[in-house]
Each structure stands twice: as structure tokens, then as C-alpha cells.
Amino acid sequence: MSGTGGADVSAKPGLSIFSKYEPLRERASVLNKLGIDPFNMTFDDIMGPTRGRIGNREIILAGTNNYLGLTYDAGARAAAKDAIDRHGTGTTGSRIANGSYVEHARLERDLAEHLRKPSCIVFTTGYVTNLAAMTGLAGPDDVIFIDADAHACIIDGTRLAGTTTVRFRHNDPKDLDKRLGRQKFADGGHALVVIEGLYSMFGDIAPIDEFAEVCERHGAYLYVDEAHSYGVFGEGGRGIAEDQGVLDKIDFYSGTFSKSLASVGGFCASNHPEFELLRKVMRPYMFTASAAPANICAAQAALEAIKSRPELRRNITDRAAQLHSGLADMEFDLCAPASPVIAVRRPNEAQAAMEWNWLLQEGVYVNLAVPPGTPQSSSLLRISVSAAHTEEDVRAILAKFRALKDNSAELMNEMMRRMQASE
């Protein structure tokens, strides 16, 4: 027995319930030998959309997905503070149980209007958005077709839906066309095709216009997740679908508040007014507390900025081109053409982790992205550009990547030394 009178859980017979994670523990142990744990690090302060602090060191933030830099926008901050003063800090329940605030309804109306759709539903997170919408849309006789590089929330949406799922080759409309053509459907069954606008790991862009043609030819419904592209692409900030002239062809358009909308939450808009029926069947919507007033009002203010400040899109496009060009000139292996997400492919996980630590020590924070969360089992240094970055910021980031390249041999020797010393 334990000293507190309870059962001593360490004495349970057989393998620990955590034993299945032993390979993960060993893998994490290797990464931790190389420096700071990249998946459990803490900033002592976030000073603005492009600056943070660790100890006494100021860090350039280049891995936040804060694409338009609106988390410190005066209007968004004022709206969030005012919402807390008027409505408190939380909703304490779902919209089904506790009702909606007028701000929820207003944001849904304004997002629907901006996206030129008759219906829009707001959710608590972007992840929950895809879980809820996909499980609400797909029934037992339907088939979901997903891109091979689909985000985890899309994969989990198919699992929760429990329907037949078919994967097609990444960004390949011809492969989708073949798979739709040979798929057998039950009477009353439909095809739901799910793609993304901008893929979050490599930063590559989907040919939504071509996918829309394939879906139209087969009578399939097209669902596009524009989480990383809403606000950034298109003349009005409506994403890749607008940029490619097919916004009206998208049956279901999902997005998140946690990128360009500078908050926490998500939304799904639809060409179909019947989408509103799903409020009564989507379990992740029905049984999750609704978004806090501050989050809703901050997103509302960010939406107004997206609609009224096209210079934000111009600046992020320019900074992404500047950074991509500079890295390409250094002959780094880049995963896709210039976009707000720039992924630098590294030879292996250990080298990527060592370089990530070195960059952080040198004052630049990027994302370390490794399998299984990356396509093709890639190990990446992932950079996300912000409209708040200046030309000088990008030059500083490029200078550190140049120094990283110049010091690569020394870094590899240090990596081997640390790993051998801990054996």
C-alpha cells in the first residue's frame, strides 16, 4: 500500500499501461540529448507577433502560424477585452444546452457573407470543426475520399464517421478521378471528397480548380479545409478557392480561427442551406462547450481586418518570396514553391533536432516537424511567415540559416559526441 492509504499502482502485475509507448520514450530520449525538448519548450514571454523571450534572450518567432500578425492587433485585443467585461470568461456549456451568444450568431452570419455561402457554423476549435462536419455529413452508405497527405483532424474525422474511406495520391486530381470512377456506392450513397487548400507541413498548394472539375463530373461533394490559406490568398482573403476562381464550386469550406483570425475556434461554411440541420446531429458540436466570448469577438475583429486591409496579404506574399528565394539561393532542400509555409527538408530526425536547437540558441524559433506528423516520413525545419515580419526580420532569419549551413560539420560532430556520451 502507498503511504496515503491508497493502492500502490507501481505494484500492479504485468506490463505497465505505458509500456506500449516505450519506443516513443526511447525516441524522445535521443532528441532530448541534443538540447531542449522541442515538443515541450516554454517561452517566458510572448512580446508581439514576431518576438518572444526565453530567459534574457529575445527570439524571432518564425513558427507560429500567425500569418497576418493580428494577435496583437489593437482592434482584436480591444474586442476580446470588451467581451470579457460584458460576458465573462467562458460560456460553461454547449450551444445546444446553454444557447448561443449574439456574437456567435453574428460571426457566423458575417463569415457566411464573406465566403458567399448561405450557411456557416462556428465551432470551438479548427480540429473539432472537421471532426464535427465530416461525421455529420457522412453516413454509413457514403464514401469519404481524402488526400494522402491529409491533416490528422481529417483522418480522425473519417475514423469517427466510421464510413468507407479511400485515399488518393497527394494533389492528384487524375488519381481521384480514377478512384471515383471505379468506386461502387450503395443505393443513396454519396462521395465526399476532402482536400486542403494549403498543406501545413510542406506548404504546397492544391489544384482546387481541377479537383472541383472532377467532383462535378462524378457528382461528388467537395470539402476544402482552408485553415492555412484563409485570409492569406485571394483578392478578398477567401483562400485558395477564391484565388483559383472556384469558391462557388466548394460545397463545404472549413477554416480555423487560430491562424489568420488570431483567436481560437473554427468554422465550416456551406453552399447548402440544409447544412444547418447538422447542428442537431454533430456530436463534437453538441457536446463541446461553445467558444468563449473573447475568442469570438477577437475573431470578428480579425475578420474585419481581413476584409479591409489587403496590405497584410501583400506583405506576407512579399516576405514569403524573400525568405524562399534566400533559402533556395543557399541550396537548402525546400519542399514546395514559395508560400507562407516554407519547409526545409533535413536528412534525418536527429540532425533536424540538433539544427532546431542551434537556431533557437541563435535567436530564431522555427518548428521541428518529424514523422509521423509529416508526409513521406520527412524531417523538417518548418517556417511560417507572418505579415508582421519585416524585410529586416527575414534577412536576420536568412543570416542564421547561412550560419547554420556554414557550421554544419561542427554541428554534426557535436551531435555525435552528445549521443555517444549518453550511451
- What is the per-residue pLDDT across 115-146, written as a single tens digit (0 to 9) for each? 999 999 999 999 999 999 999 999 999 999 99
Sequence letter at residue 237: G
Task: Please indicate, yes or no, whether residues 84 and 215 belong to a single structural domain of this protein.
Answer: yes
What is the per-residue pLDDT for 420?
A: 65
Q: In 10 A of CB 396, how many CB atoms? A: 16
Does any domain span residue 13? no
The reply to whether 274 and 227 lie within a common domain is yes
- Assigned domain for 66 exists: no
Are both 183 and 171 inside the same structural domain? yes
Same domain? 164 vs 233: yes
Number of domains the chain contains:
2
CA distance 339 to 320: 6
Same domain membership, residue 217 and residue 244:
yes
Q: Which residues contact 232 (CB under 8 A, 6 or more apart)?
A: 67, 68, 198, 239, 260, 313, 316, 340
What's 343's domain CATH number? 3.90.1150.10
On whether both 315 and 301 belong to a single domain, the answer is no
Residues 254 and 339 in one domain: no
> What is the extent of the structural domain holding 395?
27-61+310-421
Domain boundary among 285, 308, 331: 308
Q: Is residue 18 part of a domain?
A: no
In terms of domains, do 122 and 38 share one? Answer: no
| pLDDT tens digits, 271-281 | 999 999 999 99
Beta carbons within 8 Å of 224's beta carbon, 6+ residues apart: 194, 195, 196, 197, 206, 208, 239, 240, 241, 250, 252, 253, 254
Do 82 and 193 belong to one domain? yes
pLDDT of residue 4: 53
Cis peptide before 207 (omega within 30 of 0): no
**pTM for this one?**
0.93
Average pLDDT over residues 251-255: 98
Span 359-382, mean pLDDT?
Answer: 95
Question: Which of 293, 308, 323 is the last residue in one of the domains?
Answer: 308
Domain boundary among 308, 335, 367: 308
357 and 239 housed in the same domain = no
3-state helix, strand, coil in the chain (%, to 5): 45, 15, 35
- Residue 207 — pLDDT band, cuts 50, 70, 90? very high
**Percent of the chain beyond pLDDT 90?**
86
Query: Is there a single domain that holds both residue 149 and residue 188?
Result: yes
| Euclidean distance between CA atoms 335 and 382, whole angstroms | 10
Higher confidence at residue 66 or residue 2?
66
Task: Please state, in angstroms and as integers, the Cα–Cα distance from residue 115 to each residue in 237, 247, 248, 305, 393, following that order.
Answer: 9, 8, 9, 15, 33
Q: Are residues 77 and 146 in the same domain?
A: yes
